[in-house]
Structure 1
Amino acid sequence: MLRRLVQGETPPTQAMSIVERLAGSPYANPLVRTGGPDASARKTLDLALGLAETMFRYGAGALEVETAIIAVTAAFGLDSIEVDITNQSVLLNYSPKDQTPITVMRVVRSWTNNYAGLGLVHQLVTDIIDGGVSRAEASNRLNEIMHKPKPFPRWAVTFSTGAFAAAIVGFIGGGPLASAVAFISTFLVSLLQRVLGRWRVPDFFTTAASGFVVTGLAMLFWSVDVPISPGIVVAGGILLLLPTGRLVSAVQDAINGFPVTASGRFLSAFLTFGALVAGIAVALVVGALLGVPRLDVTQVTGSQYPFAVTLLLLAVALGTICVVEQSPMNLVLPTVLTGLAGFLVFQLSELVGVGPRLTPAVAAIFIGMVARMIALRLGAPQLIVAVPAVLFLFPGLSIFRAMYGLSIGSDDITLGAVGIFNALTVILAIAGGVVFGDNLARPLTRNLSGNDRRNRRR
């Protein structure tokens, strides 16, 4: 007894079982089959790769993909599994004792907005590790998910992009005319992106062209004496172009120990950010060459509407971004309510005096916590609720002001550079806050996944 107290049950040099990697994840405590490894292990590996590829395409983080693979392979009796995930590929190695090892790899080359599909894959993995789905049935369900139409048609997504821009412009301080201009410019950008995507134009140039169109139309309407604020119109138009989901996933991967995947996603996100900044800068320079008067970008305005109308505009923006991201129908209202609660926390943090850089991070932490609790209760990963709910926190107006200082006039270059740095700091703080909130909520959500599953088996 004394020897056990001193030494412990497990020698300190023994390797950790890969199934223990699931601790704290939504797939904890899977039902591991005890009948020995399946004779057709290759089919199980192919199923796991198909799940991983689909989750990556729909925007899941590397940790969620890895835990899903481990849970599914363990549920089908494969315990000698090693998983290696990079930015675009998933590699599985199955090496049972005294048998020929099997190594398979899948490369993910395309991405799409389909949070509804991601939620269905999450539910499929949950059903597999509960022990109620065979491998053949799981393969059929995965195939149905991959070929299932998205919940919202294309025309609804196009209309929702304009409605989001109009609502968010009114939310941050624009009037009805500014919202109308934002709706028109974002609607045209959506059509432009569809055409450029059909022509196989790289995303970098597509994003740059979109930023140019949004800024150019705002400057055009302002130059013909339409009473709008171009900065607010551009801020509302570029929020949808910011790589919100990739930034959150990149920060999550970096924190959770996936440096290669995080580096790739950070590079992709910052290239998108650079393309957006380049499009804004080119539009500003072209406007200056055409004689557009200088703007007063230092003026700070709040919402022109009563507080109740401001909340309504934010609710419309949150609901339309769920349509754009193809969120599940049953998660649209919870996402809207989570975002509204996050806005109230944002307002409270401002009243307390937390500071302009930390206030968005505090709201993002709260949204990340609530999003995990709601999403897991409704059978979906946290990302589906958190990413649309935090979009209104991103500093679109600060980006426009900084780019105006860098592009127009030498007196504002220093202020522009400082503005870009502050905007990047706030963006990373928001992304980190979402991930931090997700981790803070783990002790509160244990009964929603692993422990609840284990208690049912008992």
Structure 2
Amino acid sequence: MTDRPDHQSAAGNRPQTDGLPKTQPIRPSQVQQNINARRMLRRLVQGENPPTAPLNIVDRLAGSPYANPTIQVGGVDASARKTIDFALHLAETMFRYGAGALEVETSIIAVTASLGLKYIEVDITNQSVAINYSPKDQTPVTLIRVVRSWTNNYAGLAQVHQLVTDIVAGGVGRDEAVRRLNDIIRKSKPFPRWMVTVAFGVFAAAFVGVLGGGPGASALAFASNLLVSLLARQLGRWRTPDFYVTAACAFLVTFIAVMLRWAGADIAPSIVVAGGILLLLPTGRLVSSVQDAINGFPVTAAGRFLSTILTFGAIVAGIAIALVLGDRLGTGAIDVTQTFPDAYPLWAQALLIGVAVLAIGITEQTQLKLLVPTAAVGLVGFFVLWGASYVGMGNRLSPALSAVVIGLLARIVALRLGAPQLVVAVPAALILLPGLTIFRSMYVLTLEEADILAGFGGMLNAGAIVLATAAGIVLGDNLARPLTKNLASNERRRIRRRR
């Protein structure tokens, strides 16, 4: 055997062939750069997540006050049925008190996740909440709860919101949460019935003053709305359907105003009726329905929209019957084109708006600590409405802009005070609704057949303003979310420090 010649290079220690180019070694930095380039290209083409990956239900909490809940561990799955029962009871209570579908869904997800349940699915319709629990390799459990009644209790809704916040922060277990929820349900509302009745009349009197009515018109609005409140309470005791209760109340306030004008009282019936029907309008339900539609709950939104339309129909029917009856009794024609100059200076109107919003808060059974902040939000909305009207934005855009500001401020104020946005936004925004336009349009539709198209146009205009107001509140709520990210986390830190 002959020895093989050694052509090893000193640098690479590899055999080389004469006449062929030398191979340069690949450096580790070049390898890493190639890997990074391929990774960047893959992200640009595919995105961060596979396009067919299902959305984790806990991701629904993003942007809500309950994002990143504290998970309580320790064998909670062994009593999953009790946890689901509690979550359904919580959801039913929130629906009864006027919460929107998104708020109910996020509360259920946050509570079940915090109490240790995985594999949860939630389905919400207009009157029912269903929860499906399907752990791996176990028998699934599906429970449903139907909501059959509603009540005005914003104080209870705020307390439920605070309970969910405490659970998400890890400060409350299931047994204590069940006890606290039962205490909330059994607890009396913050204001007695007589105060709610008086507040009903005070709101009408104050708002009539803002519309341009003098002391006489405000006094008439106060008295007629006291009667309306008493009538609604009595009909409620007789289990009368809400449609007929609303129609009877609208009839009474309209008939009283028309008959007193016929008797010689120096008042404008339209302005009195406008102040009287505002509290009959389903503002909270309408805001919730628009919110549900925007947030992807079409079935719930459709059900609430139908209920809202029926309520508007009841108001229209009550006004129409009163006008026809008054016309048959010879009350004479009403000048619905009459405009009303300001009866009070701007500072006095602002004071009346503050009183009106306080009165709305009492009728909605808001917490005492929320009354003044809600009135402050309503005042800001009033000045935005006045400013927008002053620069010529029109009767549709001005309420919408004011509603956006009210929705934004309401979320900030409500979260700082441990309450959902709805309990501040709805009372503050009620002053934006076009009660005067509704009355004028109904009068034209009912008694002036020659101008029936004008009446329909007025009703469409009123409907556009109402929808724009509701959508503005929802838009303001969404615009405020980047500004309120730290509020929930700060609240959780305070809860942990108290433990």
> Which TM-score applies when normalising by structure 1?
0.97
Give the AA of the match of 1:145: I
- Give the Cα separation in 1 of the matches to 2:322 and 2:60: 49
Alignment of 1:22-421 (within 5 A): 22-35=61-74, 37-421=76-460
Gaps of 5+ in 2: 1-34
Give the AA of the match of 2:153: N
Q: Contact between 2:381 and 2:405, CA under 8 Å: does it hold in 1?
A: yes
The verdict on how the C-alpha distance between 1:432 and 1:302 changes in structure 2, with shifts beyond 3 A counting, is: farther
Q: Contact between 1:360 and 1:429, CA under 8 Å: does it hold in 2?
A: yes
Residue 46 (structure 1) shift? 0.6
Once the two structures are superposed, what CA deviation does each residue of 1:288-347 show, in whole Å capped at 9, x if it has no partner? 111011011101113201111111111111101100000011000000000001111111
Give the AA of the match of 2:258: M
Q: RMSD in angstroms over aligned alpha carbons?
A: 1.6
For structure 1, which segment, 396-405 or 11-20, has the greater mean C-alpha deviation from structure 2 after superposition? Answer: 11-20
Alignment of 1:441-452 (within 5 A): 441-450=480-489
Partner of 1:200, secondary structure, is coil
Partner of 2:465: 426
Partner of 1:82, secondary structure, is strand
- Give the Cα separation in 2 of the matches to 1:162 and 1:253: 32
The verdict on how the C-alpha distance between 1:9 and 1:405 changes in structure 2, with shifts beyond 3 A counting, is: closer
Partner of 2:450, secondary structure, is coil
Once the two structures are superposed, what CA deviation does each residue of 1:172-215 show, in whole Å capped at 9, x if it has no partner? 11111111111111100111111111111100011111110000
The verdict on how the C-alpha distance between 1:452 and 1:388 changes in structure 2, with shifts beyond 3 A counting, is: closer
| Sequence identity (%) | 64
- Give the Cα separation in 1 of the matches to 2:397 and 2:142: 46
- Give the Cα separation in 2 of the matches to 1:397 and 1:452: 43
Q: Contact between 1:161 and 1:190, CA under 8 Å: does it hold in 2?
A: yes
The verdict on how the C-alpha distance between 1:354 and 1:174 changes in structure 2, with shifts beyond 3 A counting, is: same
Once the two structures are superposed, what CA deviation does each residue of 1:375-415 show, in whole Å capped at 9, x if it has no partner? 00110000000000000110000000000000112222111
Q: Contact between 1:29 and 1:450, CA under 8 Å: does it hold in 2?
A: no
Q: Contact between 2:165 and 2:492, CA under 8 Å: does it hold in 1?
A: no
Q: Contact between 2:171 and 2:495, CA under 8 Å: does it hold in 1?
A: no
- Give the Cα separation in 2 of the matches to 1:457 and 1:382: 24
Once the two structures are superposed, what CA deviation does each residue of 1:216-248 show, in whole Å capped at 9, x if it has no partner? 000011011110000000000000000000000
Aligned length: 458
Partner of 1:105, secondary structure, is strand
Q: Contact between 1:369 and 1:441, CA under 8 Å: does it hold in 2?
A: yes
Once the two structures are superposed, what CA deviation does each residue of 1:9-43 show, in whole Å capped at 9, x if it has no partner? 64332212111100001111100235465210001
- Give the Cα separation in 1 of the matches to 2:106 and 2:53: 21
- Give the Cα separation in 2 of the matches to 1:453 and 1:123: 11
Give the AA of the match of 2:140: P
The verdict on how the C-alpha distance between 1:324 and 1:86 changes in structure 2, with shifts beyond 3 A counting, is: same
- Give the Cα separation in 2 of the matches to 1:328 and 1:4: 54
Report 1 or 2 for greater relative contact order, CA contacts < 8 Å, sequence distance ≥ 6: 1
- Give the Cα separation in 1 of the matches to 2:61 and 2:346: 44
Q: Contact between 1:406 and 1:416, CA under 8 Å: does it hold in 2?
A: yes
- Give the Cα separation in 2 of the matches to 1:317 and 1:186: 14
Partner of 1:92, secondary structure, is strand
- Give the Cα separation in 2 of the matches to 1:261 and 1:349: 33
- Give the Cα separation in 2 of the matches to 1:451 and 1:191: 44
> Which TM-score applies when normalising by structure 2?
0.90
**Structure of greater Rg:** 2
